[in-house]
Chains A and B, each alone.
Chain A
Amino acid sequence: MNEKVVAMLLAGGQGSRLKSLTYDIAKPAIPYGGKYRIIDFPLSNCTNSGITTVGVLTQYQPHALHRYIGLGTPWDLDRHKGGVTMLPPYAEIDGIKWYAGTASAIYQNINFLTSCEPDYVVILSGDHIYKMDYEKLVEYHKEKQADVTVSVLEVPWEEASRFGIVNTDEDMNIVEFDEKPEKPKSNLASMGVYVFDWEKLERYLEEDNNIEESTHDFGKDILPKMLKDQQKMVAYPFKGYWKDVGTVDSLWEANMDLLDPSAGLVLHDPAWRIYSSNPQLPPQVITETGRVQGSMVNEGCVISGTVSHSVIFQNVLIDKEAVVEDSVVMSGTKIGRGAHLSRVIVPPDVTVPEKYRLLEPAAGITLLTQDLIDTWKESGQQ
């Protein structure tokens, strides 16, 4: 690519339905897949797609993210030219400008973008799990001579009403946006991944900023306005695994997808590595009494119990006679002897006492909390 592409990664989301997992970290910083954080996926996609200038827009609980990304070294984004730039909200003479919506977040950083002198701007979301070649997306955008290209994904028809649906003509020109339609006319869902010609984006962001009743959101304001103005807007059909983890259940599902080859997300792929900050830990050990089946286990773990169909993060200790099944156990957790966990997400650094079991197994997935453990202790069931 001779033209310059800059990626803007929206990483300010709270993800309140993920409960205690996001009390003190933003959603893109949530641990996933045994060693990653969700933001590793879009960041690694940038690196693997040859995009070397990336702005990361943070707002909600940004500290963990800022510390995690640092200079961008794990993603090869520590560069003399470009590289990663963290973009939290900042104060000006007129006061502090919080990011009100996705478009306002980009608008507030128009000076940053101008200084990058981009030809194209790729807007990404920091909380989606997928492997995507953005270079192909930009090539498609150029071929179609579009003003904006929206990446879309075929979703099952019965689920289409949960998504922002894009209706197109035969040439993939977008003719209509349908936000969570009751009766969807298409099953192409917007992934929240857009490519803009920089000049067009700049113009529409300026305009949108002056509209008082605007919610300053790409999906709700900018794109409908561009459509109304008959700007050339095309859909790029993405094929492959894509997941927006908004809830405890969907975070669990996304982890379980890694254990199911038919789900389509392969991490063991040297051609498209997902990069991550790597703590320096010794190899994992499965002891004489340890049993592991249908699972993924990261470095630093010592497994003396039984693990089946689970994702185990780094530095987890699972004692003898403990059973972990259909669960996600995050880093630094200790699971005591004889404890039994099934369909649970265990957050980082929890100590699960000996013989612990869930008092009231939920129909869905339980996010283990210290409160649940304390209640169990008080119930005297041990």
Chain B
Amino acid sequence: MTLMAAVDASVKVAGLQDLTIHRSVSSIPFAGRYRLIDFALSNLVNADINSVGIFASQPFGSLIDHIGVGKSWDLDRRKEGLFFLPTTHQNGGIATVGSFRDFEEHLQFFEKSRQTHVVVTSSFVAGQLDYKEMLAHHLASGKDITEAVGASGSLKSYILSRRLMLELIRSYREKRILSVEDLVNLKKAPYSYGVYEYKGYFAIIDSIQQYFKESLGLLDENNRRLLFLPQAPIYTKVKDEPPTRYLDGSSVSNSMMANGSTILGNVKNSIISRAVTVGINASLDSCIIMQKCTIEENCELSYVIADKDVYIEKGVKLSGTADRPIVLRKGERVTKEDSQ
């Protein structure tokens, strides 16, 4: 029994608008150097799944830029490998995972495959789901569809046979179901539904609050140990950034730091992405700073999420709260006057 995978990168998640103006949920930066889809893709390739379709809807420029031909995930194959399968519908993407309308548009992807079973997964969950184990569980259970469920809810990952997938794609309209998630939630007859209990770490990113909480949650060593397993690496696009520089007079504690940054100021309880500059005497507490941001000298930021390319001029003071972090949108420039 072998697996192919359909990654749903077109799901609309209502609570993340500030971070999804220019990108899909799947390409939201997470954990300093990753995009959310890296976790789904890495889980798949770590289970030796070599046939992966990414179902995307607009705007997917950022996603394509990130994934390319799939080289970072070893999915640039002659045989099978990565398939980028965008929907042609203007309003592609629905609120549940595994849209049959999207699958129907690329029916051939499922028809032509030589694999026996299909993984359907979302692209906004970070975890270490072992699909080999899940497939074994699915086969042993004899159920038609198996859903991965963890302590705090569904991982929105499913396994079903390719034969059943084709049947559902051909009949979803008359059955009045929208997606795999929809089908599993409704438990429509005549199918049988099983649950695969997932015991590891996972984070569902479906709101700004969740994004903030789960990001900073990675500062807890236990979470990190469960998410970053040496035997199951999380792969991402290679960037060739040099190591991060910590200059004299800087102070960093309890923080996760990606490469290529230059730190002159003070950082604590924060996640700093690639190629960020933190100026002299600037203080960051409980912040998530995405790639290529500049924070000039004497800034004081707490509970701030700064999207890519944000420029914060000197002396800016911003403070949000854990429940309501301040979100600075991609490319925004903040001056001292703005913040007063």
Q: Is A357 an interface residue (CB 8 A)?
A: no
Give B82 Cβ to nearest chain A Cβ, in Å.
Answer: 17
Q: Which residues of A contact B228 (CB under 8 A)?
A: 282
Chain B, residues 220-248, CB within 8 Å of chain A (1/0): the string is 01001001100001111011101111111
- Within the complex, the shortest CB–CB distance from B294 to chain A, in Å, comes to 13
Whether B70 is near chain A, meaning CB under 8 Å from some CB there, is: no
A278 touches B238 (CB 8 A): yes
B234 near A297: Cβ-Cβ < 8 Å: no
**Which of B233, B246, B248, B271 has a CB less than 8 Å from the CB of A297?**
B246
A273 interface residue (CB < 8 Å to B): yes
CB distance from B238 to the nearest CB of A (A): 5
- Against B, the Cβ 8 Å flags (1 = close, 0 = not) of A221-246 are 00000000000000000000000000
How many angstroms between the C-alpha atoms of A296 and B242 in the bound complex?
Answer: 9
Q: In angstroms, how far is the closest chain B Cβ from the Cβ of A314?
A: 8
Q: B257 interface residue, CB < 8 Å from A? A: yes
B295 part of interface (Cβ distance < 8 Å): no
Distance in angstroms between the alpha carbons of A267 and B243 in the assembled complex:
9
Known: A286-B255, A291-B253. A276 touches B240 (CB 8 A): yes
Q: What is the CB-to-nearest-CB distance from B194 to chain A, in angstroms, rounded to a whole number? A: 33
Known: A286-B255, A292-B252, A293-B250. A299 touches B242 (CB 8 A): no
A280 interface residue (CB < 8 Å to B): yes
Are B243 and A288 in contact (CB-based, < 8 A)?
A: no
Query: Which of B8-16, B137-145, B160-168, B258-266 contacts the other chain?
Result: B258-266
Q: Contact partner of A283 among B233, B253, B257, CB < 8 A? A: B257
Bound complex: CA A311 to CA B249 (Å) = 17
Nearest-neighbour CB distance to chain A for B75, whole angstroms, equals 14
Interface residues of A in 262-320 (CB under 8 A from B): 267-268, 273-276, 278, 280-299, 311-312
Chain B residues, Cβ within 8 Å of A285: 219, 224, 255-257
Encoded as 1 (CB less than 8 Å from any A CB) or 0, chain B from 143 to 156 comes to 00000000000000
CB atoms of A293 and B257 under 8 A apart = no
| Bound: A268/B242 CA distance, A | 6
Question: Shortest beta-carbon distance, B264 to chain A, in Å?
Answer: 11
B32 at the interface (CB under 8 A from A): yes
Distance in Å: Cβ of A60 to nearest Cβ of chain B: 28
A282-B31, A283-B258 are known contacts. Are A268 and B245 too (CB-CB below 8 A)? yes
B183 shortest CB reach to chain A, Å: 35
Residues facing B in A102-154 (CB within 8 A) are none
B254 contacts chain A at the CB level, 8 A cutoff: yes
A55 at the interface (CB under 8 A from B): no
Per a CB cutoff under 8 Å, which of A33, A275, A294, A311 touches B247? A294
Question: For the complex, is A34 an interface residue (Cβ under 8 Å from B)?
Answer: yes
Taking the closest CB of chain B, its distance from the CB of A360, in whole angstroms, is 30
Least CB distance from A375 to B in Å reads 31
Instruction: Answer whether residue A334 sits at the interface, using C-beta atoms and an 8 A cutoff.
Output: no
The residue in chain B whose Cβ has the minimal distance to the Cβ of A286 is B252
**SS of A interface (majority):** loop
Interface status of B308 (Cβ within 8 A of chain A): no
- Hey, which chain A residues are within 8 Å of B236, CB to CB? 280
Closest Cβ neighbor of A307 among chain B residues: B246
Question: Is B314 part of the contact surface with A, judged by Cβ < 8 Å?
Answer: no
Given contacts A292-B252, A293-B248, A293-B250, contact A283 B32 (CB under 8 A): yes
Contact B252 A280 (CB under 8 A): no
Is there an interface contact between B248 and A296, defined as CB atoms closer than 8 Å? no
Q: Across the interface, which residues of A come within 8 angstroms of B239, CB to CB?
A: 278
Which residue on chain B has the smallest CB distance to residue A315?
B230
B240 adjacent to A291 (CB under 8 Å): no
Asked if A290 meets B252 with Cβ closer than 8 Å, knowing A282-B31, A283-B33, A296-B243, the reply is yes
* A35 at the binding interface (Cβ < 8 Å): yes
Contacts of B227 in A (CB 8 A): 282
- Shortest C-beta distance, A39 to chain B (Å), equals 15
Min Cβ gap A109→B in Å is 29
- List, in ascending order, chain A residues with CB within 8 A of B246's CB: 292-297
How distant is A254 from chain B, measured CB to nearest CB, in Å?
15
Cross-interface CB contact of A286 among B33, B234, B254, cutoff 8 Å: B254
Chain A neighbourhood of B235, CB < 8 A: 280
Assembled-state Cα–Cα distance A376/B319 (Å) = 51
Q: Please, which residue of chain A has its CB at the minimum distance from the CB of B263?
A: A292
Measured in the bound complex, the distance between the Cα atoms of B264 and A294 in whole Å is 9
CA distance A168 to B198 in the complex (A): 74
Q: In the bound complex, what is the Cα–Cα distance between A298 and B250 (angstroms)?
A: 17
Assess the B262–A268 pair: CB atoms within 8 A. yes
> Contact: B240 with A280, CB < 8 Å?
no
A311, B239: Cα distance in complex, Å: 20
B339 partner residues in chain A, CB cutoff 8 A = none
Is B2 among interface residues, defined by CB-CB distance under 8 A?
no
Nearest-CB distance from B202 to chain A (Å)?
Answer: 16
Q: Is the CB of A268 within 8 A of B248?
A: no
Q: Which of B267-282 contact A (CB under 8 A)?
A: 271
Which residue of chain B lies nearest to A298 when distances are taken between CB atoms in the complex?
Answer: B243
Q: Is B251 an interface residue (CB 8 A)?
A: yes
Please indicate the chain A residues that have their CB under 8 angstroms from the CB of B250 in the complex. 292-293
CB of A323 to closest CB in B, whole Å: 15
Q: What residues on A are CB-neighbors of B243 within 8 Å?
A: 33-35, 267, 296-299, 311-312
In the complex, what residues of B have CB within 8 A of residue A287's CB? 221, 253-254
Contacts of A289 in B (CB 8 A): 253
- Which residues of the other chain, A, contact B262 by a CB distance below 8 angstroms? 268
Q: What are the residues of chain A within 8 A of B256 when measuring CB–CB?
A: 282-285
Residue of A nearest to B245 (CB): A296
Determine if A273 and B224 form an interchain contact, defined as CB atoms under 8 angstroms apart: no
* Complex: A245 Cα to B23 Cα, angstroms: 46
CB pairs A–B below 8 angstroms (17 shown)? A35-B259, A73-B71, A268-B262, A274-B240, A274-B242, A280-B235, A281-B233, A282-B32, A283-B33, A283-B257, A284-B244, A284-B258, A286-B254, A288-B254, A293-B247, A298-B243, A299-B243
What residues of chain A have their CB less than 8 Å away from a CB belonging to chain B? 33-35, 73-74, 267-268, 273-276, 278, 280-299, 311-312
Ranked nearest first, the 9 interchain pairs of A and B with the lowest CB-CB distance are A34-B243, A283-B32, A267-B242, A298-B243, A282-B228, A296-B243, A292-B246, A294-B248, A283-B258
Told that A280-B234, A282-B224, A292-B252 touch, could you supply 16 new A-B pairs with CB distance under 8 A? A35-B259, A274-B242, A282-B32, A282-B227, A283-B33, A283-B271, A285-B224, A285-B256, A286-B257, A287-B254, A288-B253, A293-B247, A293-B250, A297-B243, A297-B246, A298-B244
